[in-house]
Structure 1
């Protein structure tokens, strides 16, 4: 008689290092590592071919890592519930082990279905936390302490060996192929690639983090580029935090061995790791945020169904990168090729869609989810709403695509690289080619509506109208009370690096003409980003 198996359900935690479910299963008995290509996930609107290809690369490496400790990764082409039922028909299941996941609506539905199945089958499902997100959190007052406690906990070593469960015949169907096509210049999946990026960041690239992550020109190398590896769990948040702190300590002890400003860059980087979990916590605490305005005073404010022809025209121009504003269109071009753009540009893209084009955030958010290789639902939908003004608790930040271009791409190098139609346009006109006289358009080979589109709207007018509409929405009866409830549930608290709120989540008012210390400057930078 075969011993019951302990199933480790890999989801977005594709590693064997610092993996609590794998450790627990290995200590309990014979282990069956399992990954399921969940059809409901791939039939959805947000995950596409590039995500599927990245995961496939991660699984190749994960399979090798598991083999090194004597385990065989079984990959199922069907959903987890059907897979569990198939396994149970061939061998008894002693337990199911996995990490908690803060994913999209589809993954949440899968988790609920698994929970129900395990309850009926009387199988214990043991879930472990894998980042700073806290299940069933009532308010944010003590969240910072929870995060720090988890990040300081000992890292779980890779198992040296394990007792493998018997091989099980899983359903032999074709994996549901995701929509779209892969991106030619995206990052490759796998833990070895993750470590390569992380090592080079700790060894020196982090020195350019501060001041380098705002421009799309410099952020490619100044940023850590770890976001897709954190999204799919090739690295654990805890190991990244601890390695960052260890490198800071080392850099302080022997500063001559490292580039100048490395320590400052790593401080800034760690603060963003903290904010990473902060935003994921929002979706964990309020899953409806993926589909509904966080603050309902904004309901009906925009064309939610895109029923109007003008809304559809604007969505098409924005998503195709044909707005007539070069920095917007260049960012969209880069995303099409690489699946990545830096945070400042992401905020600008969403701001442009939501404020200048006055599009509802759901459809534009789905487009960017498909474009971002590192799509992390918890961060994505919280930021999507924040940059659209629908949280009700954040200061409006409406980005001007012209001003951002002047600040972040002063020579036009980024725009010219991604928009060949503008390669001969002089600096004077590079960010506003629609202002060029017609004779110069012909001279430089960039004629409006022939080589490059003209803008659909006036930026100044759109900004003014957006501010007025949102201000009016926030004056509705009951809006203040809802704002206070959102602050209690979701706002950052004093103690988070970069937070501009007090211990109760209320915004602090800065004193005028206050001399800025280094920390104050960092806080201002963080406020702008988050």
Structure 2
């Protein structure tokens, strides 16, 4: 078929940008194009989605729609089932090719994408998908992932098409409101935007000095809110690609900057980990619902949605001030730094004995930057379900003392404790005023958590199953269970000390 006779459609999903967008670039080079985004009410009714997530998507859609119109092909926006909308467009114009990015989403989006492939096959439409991240679809051997992922990420970002030719004059349609999608009100009324403009501004401010204390501040929930890159929301909407973010980091690294090179290197490392975790869900979609390690799946005890302990944790009423402050902050703002996310998950499963999936769904709804491919592997890792990571039982009292030494963060989000002296702020139940006890005794909770983990890990065949999980998902820069951060820091410190001694001949 001549190129001029082709009717192409670019299906936008979690890739709401015009630059470094291979489906759009390929279509633009071949002829007229129909850019399409379908808002799917069924998706937004899922238990891991929320209004705050959609508001971030909506902001990115508004910016994308404006830019596509400027380039010459307005964004067609429809509401409903993707297959139904594609079928209607096909009947109207006779589609010959649909181009899209691969999406590593939840089980629902996996099923939807399979339905689109079936529709295209039955309708005789070519369906072409391209990698969105450094994630390899159909990966058979994790040993191959590093090189194949690097090849994707090291390629220069694609430029935005100079112009587009619209293949239809159909009405563009309106971006639906949250109410049209059935999304309930949310206390986080103004979540972080997911636009390209905000992503570029965040990168510029990070390199201009905001990220100067990135490495030291990233674990602090108060300082981290400013010092962290905050790119997670526009990365989740796809307003900026991971490759563009990496390219900006490498460019800043190679010229004088207001932030130390070590801070930029740390950000580069975390951007690479983004793809490492998404690859896990891509390779094993079942981890959204089932523990990766079979022994942990057998030991699971499901938590009911109305469980009082779950509700206390989910609303920031557990009686552990720092954990409650983190949860209340997340509820109000839609963002929390990584270490505190890990602590909330570890605390829920280990201290409170809750099921990881019930807690994971609640956190997913609260995260404006919810990325299923990162979220569910992290949920499993922090709740000790993988069998290949050193179990981390974060003590919320110790974390409060370490990460909120002045008590400013805790007092801000748990104002009922504002008058307590700093020495009692993280353990108010020890105050003479008779503060209410936490939902579980801290000493008994840690003891019971360790006992549960030990019992599961003592099962016959546990190590063999762990080795199988590691072969499928483990980082090839580490060995099985050799990932404890304190141990790694101690080893690095010892090597540095030895090197200095050898240099100074201090044997």
Which structure: greater helix fraction? 2
**Match of 2:181, SS?**
coil
Aligned equivalents of 1:245, 1:146: Cα separation in 2: 20
**Match of 2:35, SS?**
strand
CA deviation vs aligned residue, 1:184-223 (integer Å, no higher than 9, x gap): 3421231111111111012222221111100111101110
Q: In 2 relative to 1, CA 38–212 (structure 1 residues): closer, same or farther, beyond 3 Å?
A: same
Match of 1:98 in 2: 100
Preserved CA contact (<8 Å) 1:207 1:266: no
| Residue 344 (1) aligns with residue 339 (2) | yes
Match of 2:493 in 1: 516
Q: In 2 relative to 1, CA 511–226 (structure 1 residues): closer, same or farther, beyond 3 Å?
A: closer
Moved more, 48-57 or 406-415: 48-57
For residue 124 of structure 1, the aligned residue among 120, 123, 126 is: 126
Q: In 2 relative to 1, CA 384–430 (structure 1 residues): closer, same or farther, beyond 3 Å?
A: same
**Match of 1:163, SS?**
coil
Q: In 2 relative to 1, CA 181–238 (structure 1 residues): closer, same or farther, beyond 3 Å?
A: same
Match of 2:40 in 1: 38
Aligned equivalents of 2:150, 2:496: Cα separation in 1: 20
**What's the offset of the Cα at 1:271?**
0.5
Match of 1:145 in 2: 147
For residue 359 of structure 2, the aligned residue among 359, 364, 371 is: 364
CA deviation vs aligned residue, 1:89-112 (integer Å, no higher than 9, x gap): 111102101111100111111101
Aligned equivalents of 2:298, 2:53: Cα separation in 1: 33
| Residue 471 (1) aligns with residue 462 (2) | no
CA deviation vs aligned residue, 1:263-301 (integer Å, no higher than 9, x gap): 110111111111111010000000000000100101242
| Residue 386 (1) aligns with residue 361 (2) | no
| Residue 184 (1) aligns with residue 189 (2) | yes
Match of 2:330 in 1: 335
Instruction: Give the length in aligned residue pairs.
Output: 489
**Match of 1:167, SS?**
coil
**Match of 1:321, SS?**
coil
| Residue 269 (1) aligns with residue 252 (2) | no
**Match of 2:93, SS?**
coil
Match of 1:415 in 2: 410
Aligned equivalents of 2:192, 2:10: Cα separation in 1: 27
Unmatched 5+ stretches in structure 2: 498-507
TM-score, normalisation: structure 2:
0.92
Aligned equivalents of 1:398, 1:21: Cα separation in 2: 44
Give matches, 1:94-493, under 5 Å.
94-168=96-170, 175-181=180-186, 183-251=188-256, 258-259=257-258, 262-306=260-304, 312-438=307-433, 448=435, 453-493=436-476
Q: In 2 relative to 1, CA 512–110 (structure 1 residues): closer, same or farther, beyond 3 Å?
A: closer
Preserved CA contact (<8 Å) 2:74 2:172: no
Q: In 2 relative to 1, CA 321–118 (structure 1 residues): closer, same or farther, beyond 3 Å?
A: same
Aligned equivalents of 1:34, 1:385: Cα separation in 2: 35
Preserved CA contact (<8 Å) 1:13 1:232: yes
Q: In 2 relative to 1, CA 275–519 (structure 1 residues): closer, same or farther, beyond 3 Å?
A: farther
CA deviation vs aligned residue, 1:381-427 (integer Å, no higher than 9, x gap): 00101111111111011000000000000010001111111121111
Preserved CA contact (<8 Å) 1:5 1:94: yes
Preserved CA contact (<8 Å) 2:389 2:483: no
Preserved CA contact (<8 Å) 1:66 1:72: yes
Aligned equivalents of 1:514, 1:313: Cα separation in 2: 43
> Over aligned residue pairs, what C-alpha RMSD do you find?
2.2
**Match of 2:255, SS?**
helix
TM-score, normalisation: structure 1:
0.88
Q: In 2 relative to 1, CA 335–518 (structure 1 residues): closer, same or farther, beyond 3 Å?
A: farther
Q: In 2 relative to 1, CA 336–169 (structure 1 residues): closer, same or farther, beyond 3 Å?
A: same
CA deviation vs aligned residue, 1:63-94 (integer Å, no higher than 9, x gap): 11111210100111112100001101111102
Q: In 2 relative to 1, CA 283–512 (structure 1 residues): closer, same or farther, beyond 3 Å?
A: closer
Aligned equivalents of 1:170, 1:349: Cα separation in 2: 43
Q: In 2 relative to 1, CA 513–390 (structure 1 residues): closer, same or farther, beyond 3 Å?
A: closer
**Match of 2:34, SS?**
strand
